[in-house]
Structure 1
Amino acid sequence: MVGEDLVPAELVYFREVAEADSISAAARRLRVNASAVSRQIAKLERSLGVQLFVRRRQGMELTAQGFRLLTHVRRARIEAQALRADLARSAPESRRLQVVCSDGFVGPVVAHAAAAMRQRRPEVRMEVAVASSDDVVRAVREARADIGACFATGPTPGVCVEYVLQVDMYAVVPDGHPVAARSALTLGEALAHPYALLAGQSSQRDLLAAAARERGLGLDPVFEAESSAALLDFVRAGGGLAFLSPVGSRPAGGDGTRFVRLGDAGLGRRSAQIHTPSDSAPDAIRAEFLSLLVAQLRRGEADTAR
């Protein structure tokens, strides 16, 4: 009984004495020694600085201050019981996963894996944030995310790398573009046409910039946006080409676009990676979602190899 009302033990003892008018009767109900009840009542009176009971031969009689405290304790008991019932209703065994990923992973990999996870584990809730590759690694390293998915061009210290997939870079062009029928392009050939790039810092932009410098070229995009979806819309509208490293699905184009692989060796140093915090082993839920993410990446790898 003690502690079941989410209130301190001395208040539970006080309530039992007040309702039974007797320390010995309260002790029997609480299944403790009468001396323990007396000590708790004395402790409560000292802490509050007031007398709660008048000790009489026929039993314990509440003072005015005791009546006021009893009203509070009874109200707290009702509220605690309501809280317990509410928690019991609203807290099935659930697990919330915090996922942070680069823009290119959201739709083709994370969303598909989340849908599969929903079928297996309907109690799981997921929060997905989109960030730069550096911020993804930082969030996982600092254990602010359960799982990270991003592109990288080098080592990613401070995290546990669960899976790595080397990815090619493609020029995505609209149907009818001068290079749409080509099977491969060089970076120089691609940069000779109007093109779009992801805005801000990204491993893709860094890799393109380094490769362009090696060839004595610079980057001068005609359109920049923070999402791959916006770049694809630009291509479909006939504005130019865009650079993407597809993951999770075969880069077959369609919907008015075509994917043409860039054949420059230096552009193959980019990898898709799945990370978890290095100082904690994945629990069953996180491990299951990891397996779905990896399966989605492998599916895309198999499609591309065909």
Structure 2
Amino acid sequence: MPQSLVSANLRYLDQVARSGSIQAAAKELHVAASAINRQILQLEEQLGAPLFERVPRGMRLTVAGDAVVTLARRWRQDERRLESEIRRYQGVHQGQVTLHAMDSHSTSVLPALVAALGESHPLISLSVNLGSTDEALAAVMAGTADLVAAFNLPPRRELLVLWRTELPFGCVVAPSHPLAGARSVSLQEAAAYPVALQSRALAIRRYLDAQYGWLFTEARGRFESNSLQLVKQLALGGRHVVFTSELDAAPELAAGLLRFVPVRDKGAEPQTIGIAVDATRPPGPLVKVVAEHLQAAIERALEASRAGASKIAPPASG
């Protein structure tokens, strides 16, 4: 499909929204700025509403503009799906899939996914964005992601979960940490040591705040960051306890650099990892292929992390 089915004015509108100005959009699209401006003015006249606020430093979407851009991005996503479907009818597995995943997947699951796809489906292009579960949901609902892999996906009618598995709730510590030899630990025991917490943008932290707020009433020995890599580094240092899932620390667990200790408190709910799509638009064949490879990559990461832990497991205590 060399010629886009989405009209030029909508494509120009989308690019101006992304770039922040007509001049920047013109450079990205290799189109004259005057042509872009003319198309946007015509679209505003057609809709009877301003789509941008002209501010000194560029262009800012109005409420109406945001609605039109959201629609345009959905149509462009649909166009890519249509192109993939047509290629499938022609016997060609070719096209692009946009995936929204968690930051922790970048060091374990995603490299394995890219390698597997490259080997078995080299004509599939994969675009990956990283962020929180909230951002993943927003992306799939807005049509800017074909597929999401996220922790603790909430039940929603408009979300179709293709696969989900439970992850024990627990913490990770270095092999030298006093808790490393325990079969399980209570939250109170874990909180007696310095704790490194992930930010409130993540579902696991919001769960801790809601269910075990008493953990955070004292600031003694506590560290907080929106960087998973940083809090894992603190755990690797030997002093800190990090409340997280096995999948978040899969490479370190597989290598024996960290130990996962389940939390035994009554009512401590397991976390989940799920793969989902927009329920209003059934996944096409390319999305299904990527979802299957993604599931396999997650399962392999979990198997490796548990195998690594079993190899270095010290005599159990506690």
- Measured against the shorter chain, the TM-score band is 0.5 to 0.7
Unaligned runs of 5+ in 2: 1-91, 311-318
* Letter in structure 2 aligned against 1:96: Q
- Report what 2:120 is aligned to: 120
> 1:218 corresponds to which residue?
216
Q: Tell me, yes or no, if the aligned pair for 2:152 and 2:272 is still in contact at 8 Å.
A: yes
Q: How far did 1:116 drift?
A: 0.5
Task: Tell me the TM-score normalized by structure 2.
Answer: 0.60
Task: Indicate conservation of the 8 Å contact 1:207/1:267, yes or no.
Answer: no
Q: Note the C-alpha offset of 1:103.
A: 2.1
Cα displacement string for residues 234-276 of structure 1 (whole angstroms, at most 9, x for unaligned residues): 2112341212212395984645422211122433242111111
Take 1:154 and 1:140, find their aligned partners in 2: how far apart are those partners? Answer: 13
The aligned residue for residue 100 of structure 2 is: 100
Task: Tell me what 2:133 maps to.
Answer: 133
In structure 2, the partner of 1:288 is: 289
The CA deviation at 1:286 is 1.2
| Inter-partner Cα distance in structure 2 for 1:206 and 1:115 | 34
Q: What letter is aligned with 2:299?
A: R
Q: Counterpart of 2:142?
A: 142
Question: C-alpha separation between the residues in 2 aligned to 1:265 and 1:154?
Answer: 22
Question: Is the Cα contact below 8 Å between 1:232 and 1:242 reproduced in 2?
Answer: yes
Partner of 1:46: none
Distance 1:231 1:156, change over 3 A: farther
Q: Secondary structure at the match of 1:274?
A: strand
The aligned counterpart of 1:263 is 264
Contact 1:251 1:259 in 2 (8 A): no
Q: Is the 8 A contact 2:246 2:260 kept in 1?
A: no
- The correspondence of residues 42-191 of structure 1 with structure 2, limited to 5 A, is 94-152=94-152, 154-191=154-191
- Cα displacement (A) at 1:203: 0.8
The one-letter amino acid of 2:208's match is L
Partner residue of 1:237? 237
1:290 Cα deviation after fit: 0.5
Q: Partner of 2:216: helix, strand, or coil?
A: coil
Counterparts of 2:192 and 2:157, CA distance in 1: 37
The 1:255–1:211 alpha-carbon spacing in structure 2 relative to 1, beyond 3 Å, is same
Q: 1:233 to 1:255 in 2, by over 3 A?
A: farther
In structure 2, relative to structure 1, the CA distance for the partners of 1:207 and 1:294 (3 Å cut) is same
Structure 1 unaligned residues grouped into runs of 5+ = 1-91
For residues 103 and 140 of structure 1, the distance between their equivalents in structure 2, rounded to whole angstroms, comes to 17
Structure 1 residues 266 and 210, CA gap change in structure 2 (3 angstroms): farther
Label 1:123 to 1:246 Cα distance change in 2 as closer, same or farther (>3 A): same
| Cα-Cα RMSD | 2.7
Amino acid in the other structure paired with 1:276: V
Secondary structure of 1:185's aligned partner? coil
Cα 1:116–1:93 change in 2 (3 A) is: closer
Give the SS at the match of 1:247: coil
Aligned to 2:228: 228
Larger radius of gyration: 1
Pair 1:100–1:194, CA change in 2 (3 A): same
2:277 alignment partner, SS class: strand
C-alpha displacement of 1:156: 3.6
> TM-score, normalised to structure 1's length?
0.62
Q: What is the CA-CA distance between 1:165 and the residue it aligns to?
A: 0.8
For the pair 1:272 / 2:273, whether they are aligned, the reply is yes
User: For the residues of structure 2 that align with 1:276 and 1:218, how far apart are their CA atoms?
Assistant: 35
3-state SS of 1:165 partner: strand
In structure 2, do the counterparts of structure 1 residues 189 and 156 end up closer, same or farther at CA, with 3 Å as the change threshold?
farther
Cα-to-partner distance string for 1:52-84 (whole Å, 9 max, x where unaligned): xxxxxxxxxxxxxxxxxxxxxxxxxxxxxxxxx
From the superposition, tell whether residues 153 and 98 of structure 1 become closer, same or farther in structure 2 (CA, over 3 Å).
Answer: closer
